[in-house]
Structure 1
């Protein structure tokens, strides 16, 4: 049941996102679209409550509970970011808004990657905290090895993402050859 609920939350996230953006930009109802987008965090709250009730009712802690914690951590850290990113692209595509800036190159890209690492740190901290709470809640009554392994998974994801950011720091991404020079420079200044 937990896996089905995680899938339903993910599908619900995208359905609410598409509906909210469609209301904002296609139906020209920005307030209603924003209201639909604000419903999204309720999905994670439902998942948290159901997961807690599942453990309370005697379910043996396993990979499903760990996956639910990681999913909640991810949506806490990246949910608003994803909505904002897609909103800026929808505004550009459907409402004549400015073209969204990319991650860029060089220092700008490196800073972008470190900001994403900070989000991943938040996701890992939320997941780790939820898993630790579940471990304390279950106590000695059950086998919590699965939950502990998910804590390590959250830390591994954070470690891998940190290595990626370090690589961008050491070897910054360079603009492709022939890319447009910054505005205001003549050909002789390039």
Structure 2
């Protein structure tokens, strides 16, 4: 039941997103479109409520309940980002809006972008860990909650990997291909102490 609801919530997210954008830009009903988009968070509330009821009714905690917590965490931190992304592309394609701003590719700007994405992933992981811990406290049986503890460990690894990924762009900034070389692939000449080249 929980897995089915996760799939339903994911499908409903994109359906509501598409419907909201169509109403906003094609039907010229921006308020109604915004109201539809604001219904998106209700999906996470519904999933959280059903998961809690499932546990209250005596269901043994397993990977499905852990997956629900992870899904809620990521939709909370990435949902608004996805809505903005889709809104920008839809407005550009169908409503004469400006071209969507693409993520930077190189240098400090790219590193800053990667840190922002890492912050979202860490936020999602922390939300999932907190929800999982609440479920562990609610059940109260250490043996039954082993699968939930495993999900917490996985979230810890995921957060660590995301931070290391972002840090790699800070330590080794990405540069355009061929940057710092001339047309023949040679390094540019450097001035000597007397201002001449060598």
- TM above 0.5, yes or no, is yes
1:6–1:68 CA contact under 8 A, matched in 2: yes
Q: Which residue of 1 aligns with 2:86?
A: 86
| 1:123 has 2:134 as partner | no
Cα distance change on mapping 1:89 and 1:54 into 2, 3 Å: same
Give the alignment's TM-score, normalised by structure 1: 0.89
Alpha-carbon separation, structure 1, partners of 2:4 and 2:121: 25
Question: SS at 1:43's partner residue?
Answer: helix
Report deviation, 1:169. 1.3
The whole-number CA distance in structure 2 between the counterparts of 1:75 and 1:28 is: 27
Q: 2-side partners of 1:114 and 1:172: how far apart? A: 13
RMSD: 1.5
Comparing 20-29 with 41-50, greater Cα deviation is found at 20-29
**Is 2:102 the counterpart of 1:102?**
yes
Larger CA deviation: 112-121 vs 69-78: 112-121
Structure 1 runs, 4 residues or longer, greater than 4 Å off: none
In the alignment, is the contact (CA less than 8 A) between 1:60 and 1:142 conserved in 2? no
- After superposition, where does 1:128-143 map in structure 2 within 5 Å? 128-140=129-141, 143=144
Could you tell me which residue of structure 2 aligns to residue 77 of structure 1? 77
**Unpaired runs of 5+ in structure 1?**
179-190
**Whose helix fraction is larger, Structure 1's or Structure 2's?**
1
Q: Which has the higher contact order (CA 8 A, sep 6+)?
A: 1
Task: Please tell me whether the aligned partners of residues 61 and 147 of structure 1 are also in contact (alpha carbons under 8 angstroms).
Answer: yes
> Which residue of structure 1 lines up, in the alignment, with residue 167 of structure 2?
166
Distance 1:141 1:129 in 2: 17
In structure 2, relative to structure 1, the CA distance for the partners of 1:18 and 1:176 (3 Å cut) is farther
Unaligned runs of 5+ in 2: 180-198
Matches of residues 1-190 of structure 1 in structure 2 within 5 Å? 1-104=1-104, 105-140=106-141, 143-175=144-176
Q: Which structure has the larger Rg over C-alpha atoms?
A: 2
Which TM-score applies when normalising by structure 2? 0.86
Counterparts of 1:173 and 1:35 in 2: how far apart (Å)? 41
